[in-house]
Amino acid sequence: MKVIIYSDIHANLEAMKEVIKREKFDIAIFLGDVVDYGPKPAETLDLVMENMDYGVMGNHDYAAATGEDCNCAPDMHDLSEFSRKEVTLPSLSSEDLKRLSSLKEFVDTEIDGRKILMTHASPNNHLFGYLFATEAEMVWKDKRYSSYDLIMVGHTHFQMLYRNKIINPGSAGQPRDGDWRPMYAIWDTDADEVIFKRFKYDNNTTWKQIKEIIPEGSPYLDQLRKFYF
């Protein structure tokens, strides 16, 4: 069985289109953050919902749906607030917000005989935690999670496979490691293998869409540029 795992698309419709075009899969897992930062939240939400067998709520989805703070990284917070107010919320219908609200903070399930825990940020803090190596080691040692074969998270925008148990596919719409190519992961359940992938997409169209929303000279435009080129 081929399982695609993707996360943190952040309203990048062109990247989402490319993910779906590139892969044939049996099951799709989305690990949160459909909205904010990018230019096409409603259209991206539609495409994610059409290509999601399992999905969880991200902190930005939560903020859009509830009006609460997203509690994102300090260097991204002002940009997050701006994009939510000026782009995300004006673009989403009441039905769209209901769909975001319907996403669960975690999913506990079984796929092909393996017990899986899915959440956006961390098993210990579903919406706002960060699971880098030190935190991942703590989760790996935590007896509460010892029964799980795999734990799947997003949120950091960095790819990770920790001790063959904790998977982060990276960001499928806004990478933050200095390489503009988005990321996702494929889990081959027959081979019991996780393969990380990066891809090129029509980033110029995404950037054109952003520039249609954010005026030239805005500091937010300069801040966003590094994620798309």
Q: Is 100 helix (H, G, I), strand (E, B) or coil?
A: helix
- Specify if 112 maps to a domain: no
Please give the order of strands across the beta sheet that includes 159-162: 106-111, 114-119, 150-152, 166-169, 159-162
Instruction: For residue 15, give its domain range.
Output: 2-104+170-225
* Amino acid 102: pLDDT: 97
- Specify if 158 maps to a domain: no
- Specify if 73 maps to a domain: yes
- Specify if 38 maps to a domain: yes
Are the C-beta atoms of 171 and 159 separated by less than 8 Å? no
d(CA 52, CA 213): 28
- Specify if 203 maps to a domain: yes
pLDDT in tens, 67-76: 999 999 999 9
The pTM (predicted TM-score) of the whole model is 0.97
Stretch 160-174: mean pLDDT, rounded? 98
* Partners of 118 in beta bridges: 107, 152
* Amino acid 141: pLDDT: 98
Closest CA to 76 of 208, 224, 179: 224
CATH code for the domain of 195: 3.60.21.10
- Specify if 46 maps to a domain: yes
State how many domains the chain has.
Answer: 1
- Specify if 96 maps to a domain: yes
Stretch 176-183: mean pLDDT, rounded? 97
- Specify if 215 maps to a domain: yes
pLDDT in tens, 184-204: 999 999 999 999 999 999 999
